Structure 1
Amino acid sequence: MSWKVTLPCTRQEAEALHDEDDWLESLDPIPSVVADEVEAFNDAKWRIEAYFPDKPSKAAVDLIQSRLPSAAKAEPVIAKLPDEDWVVLSQQGLTPVCAGRFYVHTSSNRGEVPDGAVPLHIEASRAFGTGGHETTSGCLEMLDKLKRQGKRFEFIADIGTGTGLLAFASCHLWPRAYLTASDIDPVSVDVTRDNALLNGYPLGMGQGHIALCAASGTDHPIIQQRAPYDLIIANILAGPLIELAPSLVQITRDGGALILAGLLNTQAAAVISAYRKLGFRLQMRSDTGDWPCLMLIKRTRYRWERPSRADGRTTQPPGDFGTW
């Protein structure tokens, strides 16, 4: 790619641009379009970058801008780029991540795997979770700590799996567990499927396998039928974590653990409060910069009622729980 067009947009516009991309076929050649957030947790501050092999025509730029109502009065930034492989170049900017016993790398930065480390090959892609973000590395370290403490889990769910990284780590740590990994974005499920093959983690419903599904929150038969879970990991966002609290409570076994991440320090008190009201207590917390990772335990109920199984309902309407 030798030319780039940059335009501001909202998150909703960026997602619509990718969901309804038939309009791109009217352009020759068809550009590669990448969406990115400018400010974390600010859906109004996103941008679109369209890459062209040649200088884009005014008509092509106008067409892209017409798909972004909030950018109607913006001045497109058109820049000529050096003749490089931008996919490779962007990944060269990434460094391997050491978190707990895990060593997360791409094909271009594998380097020397430290002695005793568990390598996980995760390419930068359309799904969140390459290990480089503090929320993901914090979850990896939390999982590693639980294993070192001798914790055992038989049924594990990764809600909002992204690239599948945390599901793979759980599968390595507890290879006899029944694992479920879900994401609201079908693209993430496809990415996880590819990464499972790349890293040698089996998919399926059996013991030691990872069952994959696209689901809004916990609303999927696979998630419901395999409940209750001993361990649930939800590395998503603070708002969905709070709204999903009743649903996650329903599918967590008494005494079971929740690992919650994707929230800022300023949001931790609200998330903890939402789960404490539903019978959880904070067991452990680790902070990496501004990003805490919380582990909560569901209190055992000493009443004659038997715990109810999850029914799949959630107070959150279909939305985006698993991508950034």
Structure 2
Amino acid sequence: MPTFTALTTLPDAENARALGEAMERMEPEPTGIGVFEMEDDSGLWEVGAYFEADPDRAALAVLETAFGTRPFVISELPEIDWVAKVRRELSPVEAGRFFLYGSHDADRVPEGRVALLVDAAMAFGTGHHGTTLGCLRALDTLIESGVDCRNVVDIGCGTAVLAMAAARVWPDHEVLASDIDAVAVEVAQANVDLNDLTGRVVCLEAMGFDHPGLVEASPFDLIFANILKGPLISLAPDMAVHAGAGAHAILSGILNPQADEVVSVYERNGFSLVDRLVIGDWTTLTLRK
């Protein structure tokens, strides 16, 4: 069955989300819609949809006019089993003591490592990206320095890799994992169950710290936030409120030229820079309150 995509960009987050909602009412109905801030520091938002039939180009033209977007780029995707392809091409990830692998590599897990199973079917956060890898390395460095965290939260958890890693190294404490996206929370829970961490990692749907479970559990002594520069900056005041004295924050999703701005904002909110790790185009920051 062919798959079509329709993609456009626009500079306003609120308008981008409204466009995504409007596309949900199209005929034929999209099988999926995404609204994302682009990671190239352009300030643009990308809105895209997947269709099982050629989308209604006249309807897309109306949406372009109504929302002031650039013309939609419409493409037909080749019929590829992407999960099988990714499984063939993704090798295990090693980050300090952590070893991330797919089920196709179960026989390659070395002894004495903190192993986490994350299948390619889980879509995002397999550990191959510089941001997730940076967070795992930053966590490993904290552990090596003797830090013992008893109250951990992963904000914007995606596949919950970071929350699961914390739960493995500190097995006596519950770890919270939250995401604004309901699908991400489902993916996170599936990963938690797959790794026999049910009840050890609790997955919540929340925007930032706006959830009774997060408020009740704070203050935290370790906060992960692997998201993007804009949300990280917006989150800084709340993170200061919900981080305990001496708490650490591991932040990523930050392009290298953006790192100084993020550090400056967090310093104004009571954090100091402990470490900065650059992997490719991405920076991971370790901060302490």
Q: Normalising by the residue count of structure 2, what TM-score does the alignment of the two structures yield?
A: 0.82
Q: Point out the structure with the larger helix share.
A: 2
1:102 equivalent in structure 2: 98
Q: 1:261 aligned to 2:252? A: yes
Greater radius of gyration (CA): 1
Task: Tell me the CA shift for residue 177 of structure 1.
Answer: 2.1
Structure 2 residue corresponding to 1:197, chosen from 161, 186, 193 = 193
Residues 142-174 of structure 1, C-alpha deviations (whole Å, 9 max, x = no match): 111222222111111111111111000000011
User: 2: CA distance between counterparts of 1:87 and 1:36?
Assistant: 22
- 1:114-263 matches, cutoff 5 A: 114-124=110-120, 128-203=124-199, 209-263=200-254
| 8 Å Cα contact 1:181/1:212 also seen in 2 | yes
2:267 equivalent in structure 1: 276
User: 2: CA distance between counterparts of 1:49 and 1:89?
Assistant: 22
| 8 Å Cα contact 2:35/2:45 also seen in 1 | no
| 8 Å Cα contact 1:258/1:295 also seen in 2 | yes
Q: Which region of structure 1 is more displaced relative to structure 2, 227-236 or 103-112?
A: 103-112
1:86 equivalent in structure 2: 82
User: 1: CA distance between counterparts of 2:162 and 2:170?
Assistant: 12
Name the aligned partner's letter for residue 278 of structure 1: N
Task: Tell me the CA shift for residue 118 of structure 1.
Answer: 2.6
| 8 Å Cα contact 2:19/2:47 also seen in 1 | no
Q: Which region of structure 1 is more displaced relative to structure 2, 109-118 or 3-12?
A: 3-12
User: 1: CA distance between counterparts of 2:185 and 2:48?
Assistant: 23
Q: Percent identity?
A: 36
Distance 1:14-1:129 versus aligned 2 partners, 3 A rule: farther
Q: Which region of structure 1 is more displaced relative to structure 2, 157-166 or 115-124?
A: 115-124
Q: Which region of structure 1 is more displaced relative to structure 2, 109-118 or 179-188?
A: 109-118
Name the aligned partner's letter for residue 123 of structure 1: D
User: 2: CA distance between counterparts of 1:32 and 1:17?
Assistant: 16
| 8 Å Cα contact 1:158/1:232 also seen in 2 | yes
Task: Tell me the CA shift for residue 17 of structure 1.
Answer: 7.4
Q: Report how many aligned residue pairs link the two structures.
A: 284
Residues 235-282 of structure 1, C-alpha deviations (whole Å, 9 max, x = no match): 111122122111111111111111111112211111111121222211
Residues 272-305 of structure 1, C-alpha deviations (whole Å, 9 max, x = no match): 111212222111222112212111111xxxxxxx
2:75 equivalent in structure 1: 77
Q: Normalising by the residue count of structure 1, what TM-score does the alignment of the two structures yield?
A: 0.74
Distance 1:241-1:84 versus aligned 2 partners, 3 A rule: closer
**Cα RMSD, aligned residues only:** 3.1
SS where residue 108 of structure 2 aligns?
coil
User: 1: CA distance between counterparts of 2:219 and 2:73?
Assistant: 53
| 8 Å Cα contact 1:39/1:45 also seen in 2 | no
| 8 Å Cα contact 1:7/1:71 also seen in 2 | no
Task: Tell me the CA shift for residue 62 of structure 1.
Answer: 5.2
Q: 1:295 aligned to 2:256? A: no
Residues 169-190 of structure 1, C-alpha deviations (whole Å, 9 max, x = no match): 0000111123111111121111
